[in-house]
Structure 1
Amino acid sequence: MPSYTVTVATGSQWFAGTDDYIYLSLVGSAGCSEKHLLDKPFYNDFERGAVDSYDVTVDEELGDIQLVKIEKPKLACDDQIHILKQHRRKELETRQKQYRWMEWNPGFPLSIDAKCHKDLPRDIQFDSEKGVDFVLNYSKAMENLFINRFMHMFQSSWSDFADFEKIFVKISNTISERVMNHWQEDLMFGYQFLNGCNPVLIQRCKKLPEKLPVTTEMVECSLERQLTLEQEVEQGNIFIVDFDLLDGIDANKTDPCTLQFLAAPICLLYKNLANKIVPIAIQLNQVPGDENPIFLPSDAKYDWLLAKIWVRSSDFHIHQTITHLLRTHLVSEVFGIAMYRHLPAVHPIFKLLVAHVRFTIAINTKAREQLICEYGLFDKANATGGGGHVQMVQRAMQDLTYISLCFPEAIKARGMDSTEDIPYYFYRDDGLLVWEAIKTFTAEVVGIYYKSDQMVVEDQELQDFVKDVYVYGMRGKKTSGFPKSIKTREKLSEYLTVVIFTASAQHAAVNFGQYDWCSWIPNAPPTMRAPPPTAKGVVTIEQIVDTLPDRGRSCWHLGAVWALSQFQENELFLGMYPEEHFIEKPVKEAIARFRKNLDTIVSMIAERNKNKKLPYYYLSPDRIPNSVAI
């Protein structure tokens, strides 16, 4: 039988190597050979920069060789040859031994079974662990921000608000500087619920809650339409942010020398005649009573200011632990682990998703090792450290549903979908554009590989992936609404959109604005050193400053929000797929269309932001990394 030697060179650029199965066919003047799997036993083929030779034996003469075809297979049903099916099974068996589920804390989504970064499979580790060392990065950030000099006065208070400027890095005309200059204003306070770091809590108030006994008389000076408060509610002009999740959470007690406090405020907001959102009433805890007054804009200046500071601090806690950690980091890790366990490298859904779980398992492992662990960095500055953050995640898991990760439905559920009623909600506007671009792309890819809904149903690897997310990641909770299986191409496209959007756009929206909005300490205090006021007319400027974080915790906080707001070196942004897992022309064309759609969105956002004092750019695709990696 004729035999040929074929030499294959793998590129030396980053990400050039592949773990996919590579098949070769020879086309000659007298015929075409069968597909041959290029695989050397006990050898890692197609490493970056490798040159490998393979002997290919064919059944009959092919004549003069005219073409060498190299390709990768697709779905399991395409691999009819027994040896190929066996290879897929072995790959997954090996992966399932490497990627094991683990419960880091009761009630959490399950995570990877690894105590530290070096325990992870080599394929998913960072190239340089030093680059994601939280201790190193925070210390480096404080050094770069020139704030280390305050650390020796760790537990001493600042003198006044102006004192915070000593650790504040002024970067001319940035959002952070504007926050510093305008943080006390009601307009700036309200704006942040729409376009700040945590734009996911505000909702339209359909009925005033009994636990917030606010009346028209109390807020009359804030209402601009000559209507009663109830009428304003009926017309859709009243909004509410309820921090009930913080009620009863244990405050940080890791430092016996410093008492730390939490509150669970309810904040009522009003859409004024200029269509801007402003606060009109704040109650600092959930149960009404004489010692839990409702603070109003008409109160004494410092009463109202301290009430708003408590809301901003509570918003910071929900943002860091729930919006950011749970609903982007931990959820994306679940998708990543399930993908590695059940989708072989040749599977088109693996190829589609692998860029969107890049470094996520590694960054989360590093966080469990250094940041959110017992006595970790999180405990140094945050009132929810020392276990409070764990309690918060356990509670928030009750509200972590599949539908709440579907961006359009999540916006609609909060009554925030009307662009006419709420015209300045850029998080919503930009998010919907990016969601639709991703969904259009995933629908195209799904359509290329799945010619019918039946093919989706019969793809056992895909179904095992979806089931693993539900059973292990989401702990098999029916109330989560996560599907156990997927039966249509449309639902598969939606599911893939959830995975990609969560890891890319949603994480970008709630992560990269942390320095902008949280670096001015009074606007996002990570801890409070006195309990919420129980009466009006007693708050002084000195009392507020003594309540705010001390010098040491302010420095740790500033280093943290700076470090967490930085892009990774060699960051890959949405639509960038340098590994080129797909070789099929229709998919490459779909990727090109996806990039074009994203470029259009970038231009639209840039045009809207022109001359804006507060531009919103967190959901501009050129600033959205592909995955959760910081």
Structure 2
Amino acid sequence: MFGNANKSSEEQNANKRERMRGTVILMKKNVLDFTDLSSSLLDRLHEFVGKHVSLQLISASQEASDVEGNGMKGKLGKPAYLEDWITTITPLIAGESAFGVTFDWDDDEDIGTPGAFLIRNHHHSEFYLKSMTLENVPGHGVIHFICNSWVYPAHKYKTDRIFFSNKTYLPSETPEPLLKYREEELESLRGDGRGTLQEWDRVYDYAYYNDLGDPDKGAQYARPVLGGSTEYPYPRRGRTGRPPSKTDAKSESRLNLAMSLDIYVPRDERFGHLKLSDFLANALKSIVQVLKPELESLFDSTPEEFDSFEDVFKLYEGGIKLPEGILKNIRDRIHAELLKEILRTDGERFLKFPMPQVIKEDKSAWRTDEEFAREMLAGVNPVIIRCLREFPPASKLDAKVYGNQTSTIKKENIESNMDGLTVHEAIRHKKLFILDHHDALIPYLRRINSTSTKTYASRTILFLQNDGTLKPLAIELSLPHSEGDQYGVISKVFTPADEGVENSIWQLAKAYVAVNDSGVHQLISHWLNTHAVIEPFVIAANRQLSVLHPIHKLLHPHFRDTMNINALARQILINADGFVEATVFPSKYSMEMSSAIYKNWIFPDQALPADLIKRGMAVKDSGSPHGLRLVIEDYPYAVDGLEIWFAIKNWVQDYCSFYYKEDDTVKKDSELQSWWKELREEGHGDKKNEPWWPKMHTREDLIEVCTIIIWVASALHASTNFGQYPYAGFLPNRPTISRRFMPEKGTPEYDELVNNPEKAFLKTITAQLQALIGISLIEILSKHSSDELYLGQRDTPYWTSEVEPLEAFGRFGKKLAQIEERIVTLNSDGKHKNRVGPVNMPYTLLYPSSKDGLTGMGIPNSVAI
């Protein structure tokens, strides 16, 4: 213990003059962007003339702070430079290069313990900085700096780029030498709210959805601004700063799709270079620019319909042959890799799609009533069905505006099919359920039906049988009254039939329900309730929570790529005349309708237990696991979802409890409070006065909020996204549009239904053109990327330096692995009929992990596709 005292002063000074070695991992632009081959040459040229990449360590030690020269900031070490840039060979497979860097460490420049570093890129091109690792730091050993950021040439920035070590600090516990750097970095990320943002900008800011319409293109392309009004409330999206359109100052101008999909999002929010979604962007662009117009021209000249289900099956078994002229045009304009992906060329057959799981084992089971009902519990939209609590079903629409909207389903329509129970008894025993798409659609239905769509608002009543499966009892289809909304609706009730034209009519009634459910799924369950509502959390976190903050580190993986996929969606999916309007029944009213539904969005209700209780699908029960008892024991989404939910919550509780020992720490966390305030008042600003927002005063508040965010971004999104192709890739199972009303007796349409029910069915639902475009789209959107990170995974084991959070995260991963095993067991035991169903398709959408591609399973960390 007295060893140092015995050393000579000369030996001690020699120790202080030791050099500290570091390893920097980065990816050069020329490796990631083959279209910019000149970058490598120019970067080498800059190296030759002395324009290097420099790094300076920043002290986190109090005794090394530079009060006079650096304004209470940590003392800066001497500049060091990346070594051997010119001679370092980049391994092209991984795209990563490792560079050495040597920092001086002597008497005059003793910087104590490094807590951050500045980096200046004096090259011509940007590079992707993954990490820096310091070896043999005196008193500390190894220090990791996890960067994962694009670094542009220094002249592009107003302030130097800074990266902190993987040590985590609450604001009040931040070493004083790092505090100013922490604050300034957040200020730079907020920007000044002015100007058009460029690719190198790192600004996170808010805007309304005022970029969906294109009024400069014509009045038919104008769309209302969503957000900022009581009429059209909406979550905020990331600001781009593009100038307003020429025609309407409230609308933002749009990019020319023929030129670019390069919509601004902060550069670090862009898709990674290995991500399938890089390919996705180009594939979507090719479909909308090339395939869609060519197919439209084909179907304009030679109108085509599916005449039978066998015609639809050919899409998966043989494909459709395109005329050589159209095929040549497509070939000339689409890259070979994309051509193979979106056309599936196979000899002389084209547009051949993978077999959707729903028809893989049995081509007709999808038409059964049991499968129709099962998919409400284990399909791609299992979040709508609710327990029926009153009969007849009532409406919450304003009777002064919409008249009497109470259901016309009567007891005599259903009681004969309820195992001897009366309606009152069935409700008391929680045996009746409803899939209700009435109130959401009625306010828009008159306008929707003025387009090519011809559809109804639907209510479907179901009965819980003794074997745990649901049986549909009645479907009510409603239209606005011909004399005006104030007169209510005109409704018809349909009940099951096994044969004859009555069965054909029943199959059509189910199809209209499926059309409703497809639109609500795509616009509400999927887009609004995951993609749109999460983006403000991403923006607010980057503006108000430092990368040093524990909650930033907790949530950051669950924000990956969300801003990028949402920006792509605004450009080609949910925009005026985009994919959604072309293929989903509300057409030009799609996004406006989602705004109306957002009026009822409540953040605490996004918690799975709260949602299940609100829908009457679960009741509180202290004697049941997790304190909840499911009303339908075999409800696969809820069974698997609750396991995932509580695994997330336990992980979040362990993590937050490490940093927040008491409630007072939450209240006094300045960054946390700023984040929560801005999220409510800006990000979800149209909801800022709602009383249901958690107060963020206690650890319990914090744990619940973070659990909801992670659940929505991971498991909820996975459950509503990755089943799209497995269930809806076969369009008759989940049609997205209906083109004519239920045929009436005495009409040619009714005669056709009698004589050729398959053809009549197919002429009613999604047309062949929309089907081909829609299937092409959802196939791409249902795939996992090759660099997907799933729940329980991180991109580096060094994401934090604290041991206890790392151990808790390890336990989280092990719990998820156990859940996977349990799901496999439940799916294979044969007792739970709703888990597999007549189509013999196991419920795997909440299986935590997956391989890449089209799997129908796996929970990615974030809303990334």
Equivalent in the alignment of 2:184: 90
The code of the aligned residue for 2:504 comes to Y
Change (3 A) 1:584 1:77: same
Match status 1:300 vs 2:395: no
What pairs with 1:255-404 in structure 2 (closer than 5 Å)? Answer: 259-285=452-478, 292-298=491-497, 300-386=502-588, 388-404=589-605
**In structure 2, distance between residues paired with 1:227 and 1:422:** 18
2:464 and 2:470 in contact (8 A); partners too: yes
- Deviation track 1:302-361 (CA, whole Å, cap 9, x = no partner) reads 111111000001000000000000101112211111111111111111111111101011
Moved more, 367-376 or 42-51: 42-51
Equivalent in the alignment of 2:777: 560
- Deviation track 1:12-46 (CA, whole Å, cap 9, x = no partner) reads 599xxxxx9986689xxxxx976895867999999
Equivalent in the alignment of 1:167: 315
What pairs with 1:32-51 in structure 2 (closer than 5 Å)? Answer: 49-51=98-100
Change (3 A) 1:624 1:470: same
The code of the aligned residue for 1:88 comes to R
Larger Rg: 2
> Which secondary structure does the structure 2 equivalent of 1:192 belong to?
helix
Match status 1:457 vs 2:673: no
1:454 and 1:488 in contact (8 A); partners too: yes
The code of the aligned residue for 1:112 comes to G
**In structure 2, distance between residues paired with 1:40 and 1:384:** 61
Report the count of equivalent residues: 610
The code of the aligned residue for 2:846 comes to L
The code of the aligned residue for 1:10 comes to V
**In structure 2, distance between residues paired with 1:85 and 1:48:** 32
Shift of residue 385, structure 1, vs aligned partner: 2.6
**In structure 2, distance between residues paired with 1:67 and 1:379:** 62
**In structure 2, distance between residues paired with 1:594 and 1:130:** 27
Equivalent in the alignment of 1:416: 617
What pairs with 1:445-484 in structure 2 (closer than 5 Å)? Answer: 445-477=655-687, 480=690, 483=693
Equivalent in the alignment of 1:29: none
2:25 and 2:98 in contact (8 A); partners too: yes
Equivalent in the alignment of 1:526: 736
1:260 and 1:529 in contact (8 A); partners too: yes
Shift of residue 473, structure 1, vs aligned partner: 2.0
1:293 and 1:535 in contact (8 A); partners too: no
What pairs with 1:69-148 in structure 2 (closer than 5 Å)? Answer: 69=141, 70=143, 71=165, 72-81=167-176, 83-97=177-191, 98-104=203-209, 105-106=226-227, 107-114=233-240, 117-128=262-273, 131-132=277-278, 136-138=282-284
Shift of residue 469, structure 1, vs aligned partner: 1.5
> Which secondary structure does the structure 2 equivalent of 1:10 belong to?
strand
2:442 and 2:480 in contact (8 A); partners too: no
2:305 and 2:768 in contact (8 A); partners too: yes
TM normalised by structure 1 equals 0.87
Higher relative contact order (CA 8 A, sep 6+): 1
What pairs with 1:431-450 in structure 2 (closer than 5 Å)? Answer: 431-450=641-660
2:455 and 2:738 in contact (8 A); partners too: yes
The code of the aligned residue for 2:859 comes to I
**In structure 2, distance between residues paired with 1:466 and 1:439:** 19
> Which secondary structure does the structure 1 equivalent of 2:433 belong to?
strand
Shift of residue 138, structure 1, vs aligned partner: 4.8
1:457 and 1:488 in contact (8 A); partners too: yes
> Which secondary structure does the structure 1 equivalent of 2:139 belong to?
strand
1:157 and 1:549 in contact (8 A); partners too: no
One of 386, 391, 402 as aligned partner of 1:203: 386
2:56 and 2:79 in contact (8 A); partners too: no
- Deviation track 1:540-592 (CA, whole Å, cap 9, x = no partner) reads 42432221222111101111221111012211111111233211111111111
Change (3 A) 1:391 1:118: closer
1:176 and 1:515 in contact (8 A); partners too: no
Moved more, 552-561 or 166-175: 166-175
Shift of residue 195, structure 1, vs aligned partner: 0.6
Moved more, 183-192 or 476-485: 476-485
% same residue: 27
**In structure 1, distance between residues paired with 2:446 and 2:57:** 55
Unpaired runs of 5+ in structure 1?
Answer: 15-19, 27-31
Shift of residue 519, structure 1, vs aligned partner: 1.3
**In structure 1, distance between residues paired with 2:477 and 2:465:** 23
TM normalised by structure 2 equals 0.65
The code of the aligned residue for 2:795 comes to P
Change (3 A) 1:44 1:355: farther
> Which secondary structure does the structure 2 equivalent of 1:300 belong to?
helix
**In structure 2, distance between residues paired with 1:38 and 1:358:** 33
**In structure 2, distance between residues paired with 1:343 and 1:488:** 18
**In structure 1, distance between residues paired with 2:812 and 2:722:** 23
1:33 and 1:58 in contact (8 A); partners too: no
**In structure 1, distance between residues paired with 2:663 and 2:489:** 61
- Deviation track 1:83-122 (CA, whole Å, cap 9, x = no partner) reads 4221111111111111110001232200101266442221
**In structure 2, distance between residues paired with 1:94 and 1:42:** 23
Change (3 A) 1:346 1:249: same
